[in-house]
Amino acid sequence: MAASTRTFEDVKKSVLSCHSDSSAEEKATFYNSWARNYEQDVAVLEFRAPSQAGDMVSSHFPGDREAAVVLDVACGTGLVAKQMKKHGFARFFGTDGSTGMLELAKETGLYQDLSQCMLGKESLPVKWGQFDVVVICGALSVGQVPVRVVRELCRATKPGGYICMTVRSNQSNLEYKAALDSELRQMEEEGLWERVKVTEVENWERGVSAQEEGYISGCVYLYRSLPPV
């Protein structure tokens, strides 16, 4: 089916098939097959997380944006990098579990380097303390990226650098979000980072399950990495 003819019901069926129980490898295969329709489909869903993340970082980042090194985790086809480019950022490194998504991210010409990584099964393929900004958008959810991965995001960031994360707040993801919030607080108590801002967004994207009529909500987190004590 051509991407231009896909309806909300078509997209909903695709997304729900991905949400079903499956292995990491099966999910990667799904995203490989979804890659060419991905941007059109998330536009149908009115997926606002990439722009929300870009706006959050832009509102608080105080440094030289052209020189800042950004790690785009679970980068997909490059939607976050496209948004951050509008805000003046220019140096992007990306990683994703799907080779199909990475191929399209490469076509944007925005990334200086791209690598494949199955988050949760493999460590981030980067040097620790290398990035001014680390962003993960859309992947922090049940059945996707384990909560413990946020520690790697923090380790990848320079002291004083920023970590931006987005998460859905819909009913099926509430248990995951609660575990995530607990981990974020624990890392604050350990002195690994400090919270800069957390914003709840009511109309995050269109819901796809039978229990989610209309729009679901979401949340954007921004933290600043602290130097080791």
Task: Identify the CATH number of the domain in which residue 112 sits.
Answer: 3.40.50.150
Query: Helices in 87-173 by DSSP H: which ranges?
Result: 99-107, 149-156
Task: Per-residue pLDDT tens, the chain, 229 aa: give them.
Answer: 344 578 888 888 777 776 655 677 788 888 898 898 999 999 999 999 999 999 999 999 999 999 999 999 999 999 999 999 999 999 999 999 999 999 999 999 999 999 999 999 999 999 999 999 999 999 999 888 999 999 999 999 999 999 999 999 998 899 999 999 999 999 999 999 999 999 999 999 998 876 777 899 999 999 999 998 7
Query: Which of 194, 185, 124, 187 has its CA nearest to residue 160?
Result: 194
* Residue 32 covered by a domain: no
* Residue 181 covered by a domain: yes
Residue numbers of the domain that contains 190:
49-225
223 and 158 in contact (C-beta within 8 Å)? no
* Residue 84 covered by a domain: yes
* Residue 132 covered by a domain: yes
Total of domains in the chain: 1
* Residue 26 covered by a domain: no
Strands of the chain, DSSP E: 69-73, 91-96, 111-116, 131-140, 157-168, 193-206, 215-225
* Residue 133 covered by a domain: yes
* Residue 116 covered by a domain: yes
* Residue 13 covered by a domain: no
CA-CA distance, 110 to 75, in Å (whole number)?
12
DSSP state, residue 45: T
